Amino acid sequence: MDLKYDFAPSAASTVASGIPVALERLEGLLAGVDALVLTSKDPFLSEYVPRENNPRFGATRFSGSVGDAVYFTQEFRKSRPGLKPLMLFVDGRYHLQADQETDPSFVEVVKLDVEPNIEAGVQKALVSTGARKVALDFERTSLAALDRYRVTMKQLSGELIPVEGSGILRALGLTGWSTDRPVFSLAEIHTGRTLAKNLRALSLAMHEKTGDTESLHLTVATDDAAFLLNARAYHLPHLASMLAYTFLYKNECILFLPECSGSAPVELDPSQFGEFRVTVIRNSIPELKRELSRFNVKSIFFHSATVNGLLPTLASGLFPDARVYPDFNWVLKTRTRKTPEEMGSIRASFLKSSRAIARTLRFGKKESQVRKVSELELARFLKQAYAEEGAVALSFSTISGAGGNSAIVHYSTPSADHCFDPGKLALLDSGAYYENGFCTDCTRGFFAGGADSGVKPEAWQVEIYTATLKSAIQPFLTGVDAAWSGREVDSWIRSKVKEAGYDYLHGTGHGIGIHVHEEGIRLSTMSIYPQSDYACVSVEPGIYLKDKGGVRVENVALLIPEGSKRYRYENVVFVGYDWDLIDASRLTPEEKDYLKGYEEKCRELGTTLTPCPL
C-alpha cells in the first residue's frame, strides 16, 4: 500500500552506463585537476538525497545516506601506481554495505572508526596522495566544510577549484531531482508554534546581538525552513521539509524555490503570518538579488553548517559592509527544545508506530516458524501496518535484516531471497511520519523460533541480546546527569556493552523531530552537544557479529528536566522485547522491576512480542 507522500522507486538504480563510462565523462570536466570531491549532499545539505541527485552514488554505486568519495584523475594517477580511481569514505554504520555495493577494481573503501568525521578522512587522503588541485561543488558543501577545505589546501600550497554540480550529474548519467508538492502550514495544535511566533522570536534573538533591527537571517537547510514557517512539504523521500532557501529581514520573509522545487505551490495559512509578509521567488537569482537589495542590511546571520558555500557569498556581495555572524545557531537550539504540543505530537506518533512495529514483529516471529518469510515481505507488511495507523510517509528506508544481514548496521535493501529461517536473528529498524509532521524511529529484533517451534536460541544470541538490552534501558532506569555532554552520555551507555566484551561502530543516539536525524542533540563519541530540556533523542546501542547476526535495541526519549541537575528520560516507544532472547538471571533487581513495568504497559497497549516471565 502506498503512503500519501511516497515517491516512485529510484530510477538511478538502472543507470544505463557503467562506472567506467561515467568516469570517462568526468575526465572531460576536470582538465588540470588532481582530484574531485564527490559529496552525498544536495544544495540544501540534505542527508537523504535521492540517487538521481547524488554524485557520490553516481560514481561509486554506494547507496548509504552518509559518506563522501574522491575521484582521482587519470593524469594524477599516472605517477601513483596502485591508486584506484575512487576512494569512498564511510563510518561504522556502512562498513559491510560499502563492501557489498562497490566494485573493488574501481573503488577503495576507507573504513573510518566509530563516528569519525568523514570530511577529515577525505582531507587526510588528499594530503597523503599529494592532490593539490582539488575540485569541489561549493553549492553542495556547507560553508563550514568549505572553510576547512580551504585551510587544508592552503597548507598544501594547493588550490580549491569550484565545479558546477549539474555538469557532474550529467557526466555521471544522473537526472537530478525535482518536485511540485505543495508547501503547507501545520496547525498550531500540533506544534504550539506559528510562522509569526517563530519569526518574531528569531528577530528578537538577532536584535539582542546587534541592538538594531537591520539584520538578515539566511539558511538553506530544509528543516530550518520547515521549522521557521511551521510548515511541511515532503519534497524528498524520507524528509517532511521543503527544498527552499529562507531569508528573514525585519517583518519580511523570502521563500526562494530553486529550479528543483520552483513549481511547488505555496499554500501557507495567512492567519499565521501576523505582522510578517511572505514573498515567494521561483528559480530566479536576479529576482532574489533585486528583492534583497531593497533592504538596508547591517548584519548577516547564519549558521555556517546550514548554509552552502555559495549563499553567504551572494549576501556579502549585496551587503559588503554588513557585519557577519557565521555561528548563529538560534534555530538549531530552539528547534531542539520541543514545546508541550510538539511533545504531544511525538508521543502520539510513537504510539501509532509502536502498534505497527509490534504487529509486524509478531507476524514475522510466528510465520517464520512455519514457512519462508523474506526480508522484503516483512518490510512490506510493516509499511502496510504503518499505513493502517495513519502514516503518510516512511522516515527512512526500512532495515529488515535476516541472519547475517542483521549484523549490517544500516542494511536498507531487504531481499525477497533472504528469509528469517528458524534459529536466526532478525533486525527491524523503521520509522514513519504522520499528519502532525513529526517522525518516528525504533529498532527491535526477534529470534526466528522459540518454544512453540522447538528451535531454541544459541548462547551467543542470548548473550548479545541481553547485553544490548541492559545497555539500552540504563537511562530510563536512573535518569541522566544534566551536566553531561552527549559524549559522556554515550560513554556511559556504551560502557554497559563494553562490560560484556563488545562495542559498536556508531553513535548511541541522535535527535528526532522534523527529520529522523535532527541536529541539536547527539549521543556519540564525538558529540560536544549538551543535553537540552525537552529534546527528543534516540538511545540505540547494539552488538553486531559479522556473518552471524546482530542486535540493536532502540528506544526514544524526551528529556524532562527534574530540577537543575538531572534529566528524566521519558521513553515514548512501547514495543515489547523478545523474551526468548533474554537471560533473566543476568538482570539486576532494578532492571527486572523496570522491564516488568514496561511489559505491563505494552500489554495494556497491545504491543507485546512474547510473554514476560517476570
Residue 108 — φ and ψ, nearest 5°? -95, 120
The contacts of residue 97 (CB under 8 Å, 6+ apart) are 62, 63, 64, 90, 408, 409, 410, 411, 412
330 part of a folded domain: yes
CATH code, domain carrying 475 = 3.90.230.10
CA distance 171 to 71: 13
Q: Would you say the pTM of this structure is higher than 0.75?
A: yes
With a pLDDT cut of 70, the percent of the chain lying above it is: 98
pLDDT digits (tens, 9 = 90+) for 163-177: 999 999 999 999 999
Q: Which of 581, 559, 583 is nearest to 571 (CA)?
A: 559
**Where does the pLDDT of residue 12 fall: very low under 50, low under 70, confident under 90, or very high at 90 and above?**
low
Please give the sequence-ordered ranges of beta strands (E in DSSP) within 140-269, or none if there are none.
159-162, 183-185, 215-219, 231-232, 245-249, 252-257, 266-267
Beta 277-282 vs 299-301: how paired, if at all?
unpaired
pLDDT digits (tens, 9 = 90+) for 45-72: 999 999 999 999 999 999 988 899 999 9
Give the three cell numbers for residue 179.
Answer: 518536485
Residues 77 and 196 in one domain: no
Residue entry with cell 499554500: 267
pLDDT digits (tens, 9 = 90+) for 440-463: 999 999 999 766 778 899 999 999
278 in helix, strand or coil? strand
376 part of a folded domain: yes
Residues 48 and 165 in one domain: yes
177 part of a folded domain: no
CA distance 420 to 359: 16
Residues 102 and 86 in one domain: yes
Give the three cell numbers for residue 170.
Answer: 550529467
Residue entry with cell 528529556: 559
CA distance 211 to 205: 10
Q: Which of 295, 320, 335 is the last residue of a domain?
A: 335
Residue entry with cell 508547501: 183
Taking a C-beta distance cutoff of 8 angstroms, is the pair 3, 387 a contact? yes
Regarding predicted confidence, which is higher, 370 or 271?
Answer: 271
Residues 578 and 596 in one domain: yes
pLDDT digits (tens, 9 = 90+) for 125-166: 999 999 999 999 999 999 999 999 999 999 989 999 999 999
Beta 107-111 vs 231-232: how paired, if at all?
unpaired
Question: 453 to each of 156, 261, 447, 463, 607, how far by Cα in Å?
Answer: 64, 53, 11, 21, 22
Write the secondary structure of 498-545 as one string of H (helix), E (strand) and C (coil): HHCCCCCCCCCEEECCCCCCEEEEEECCCCCCECCCCCEEEECCEEEE
Residues 381 and 482 in one domain: yes
404 part of a folded domain: yes
Residue entry with cell 538549531: 332
Residues 91 and 67 in one domain: yes
Please give the sequence-ordered ranges of beta strands (E in DSSP) within 208-322, or none if there are none.
215-219, 231-232, 245-249, 252-257, 266-267, 277-282, 299-301
Residues 266 and 294 in one domain: yes
Taking a C-beta distance cutoff of 8 angstroms, is the pair 541, 497 a contact? yes
Taking a C-beta distance cutoff of 8 angstroms, is the pair 58, 245 a contact? no
Q: Which of 171, 200, 218 is the last residue of a domain?
A: 171
372 part of a folded domain: yes
pLDDT digits (tens, 9 = 90+) for 69-122: 999 999 999 999 999 999 999 988 888 889 989 999 999 999 987 655 899 999
CA distance 191 to 335: 11
Residues 568 and 455 in one domain: yes
Give the three cell numbers for residue 475.
Answer: 537511562
pLDDT of residue 19: 82
CATH code, domain carrying 71 = 3.40.350.10
Q: Which of 171, 202, 237 is the last residue of a domain?
A: 171
The single-letter DSSP state of residue 8 is P
475 part of a folded domain: yes
Residues 45 and 134 in one domain: yes
pLDDT of residue 431: 98
479 part of a folded domain: yes
Residues 461 and 574 in one domain: yes
pLDDT digits (tens, 9 = 90+) for 462-515: 999 999 999 999 999 999 999 999 999 999 999 999 999 999 989 999 999 999
pLDDT tops 60 at residue 359: yes
Residues 368 and 329 in one domain: no
pLDDT tops 50 at residue 551: yes
Taking a C-beta distance cutoff of 8 angstroms, is the pair 292, 316 a contact? no
pLDDT tops 70 at residue 434: yes
59 part of a folded domain: yes
Taking a C-beta distance cutoff of 8 angstroms, is the pair 216, 297 a contact? yes
CA distance 322 to 89: 38
pLDDT of residue 527: 87
With a pLDDT cut of 90, the percent of the chain lying above it is: 90
Residues 216 and 131 in one domain: no
**Where does the pLDDT of residue 16 fall: very low under 50, low under 70, confident under 90, or very high at 90 and above?**
very low
Q: How far apart are the first and last CA of the chain?
A: 38
Number of domains in the chain: 3
pLDDT digits (tens, 9 = 90+) for 254-290: 999 999 999 999 999 999 999 999 999 999 999 999 9
pLDDT of residue 451: 65
CA distance 375 to 429: 12
Domain carrying residue 41: 11-171
